[in-house]
């Protein structure tokens, strides 16, 4: 199980990122006391996203991304569309639709309808 991912975020984008990840079923949580002044955390089912505000965040990756299985794929896509989040359909590499979006800080997020499991299409 992936426990957490830490994403660099401009300070003025932290709250927008918390709201974005809420659409994906993540709830804000309190970090440990020693980290509360620096980080904002969200979690879902034991997986956490840690936002570290920085005045000069690294450029979001072109191909690198965080991937999550949506709690309800169609509902999540509807919520993204209602907020005018640009979406790009991914290839259906394992008989399960997936969609790519960018969070308010520019990080690419893969929204999966189901995790990949063989048998693979075409084999």
> What is the domain partition of the chain in residue ranges?
4-56+65-112
CATH architecture of 4-56+65-112: Roll (3.10)
Question: Measured between alpha carbons, how far is 77 from 80 in angstroms, rounded to an integer?
Answer: 5
The burial class, CB within 10 Å (0-12 / 13-18 / 19+), for 51 is: buried
Question: Measured between alpha carbons, how far is 109 from 100 in angstroms, rounded to an integer?
Answer: 6
Give residue-wise pLDDT tens across range 34-87.
999 999 999 999 999 999 999 999 888 889 999 999 989 999 999 999 999 999
Percent of the chain with pLDDT over 70: 99
Percent of the chain with pLDDT over 90: 84
Question: Measured between alpha carbons, how far is 5 from 10 in angstroms, rounded to an integer?
Answer: 16
Claim: this prediction has a pTM higher than 0.85: yes
């Amino acid at each position: 199980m992936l426990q957490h991912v830490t994403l660099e975020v401009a300070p003025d984008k932290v709250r927008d990122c918390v709201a974005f990840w809420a659409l994906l079923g993540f709830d804000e949580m309190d970090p440990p006391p020693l980290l509360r002044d620096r980080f904002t955390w969200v979690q879902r089912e034991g997986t956490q996203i840690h936002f570290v505000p920085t005045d000069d965040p690294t450029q979001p990756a072109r191909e690198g991304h965080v991937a999550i299985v949506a709690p309800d794929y169609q509902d999540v896509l509807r919520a993204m569309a209602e907020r005018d989040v640009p979406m790009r359909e991914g290839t259906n590499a394992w008989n399960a639709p997936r969609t790519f979006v960018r969070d308010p800080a520019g990080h690419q997020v893969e929204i999966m309808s189901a995790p990949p499991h063989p048998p693979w299409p075409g084999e």
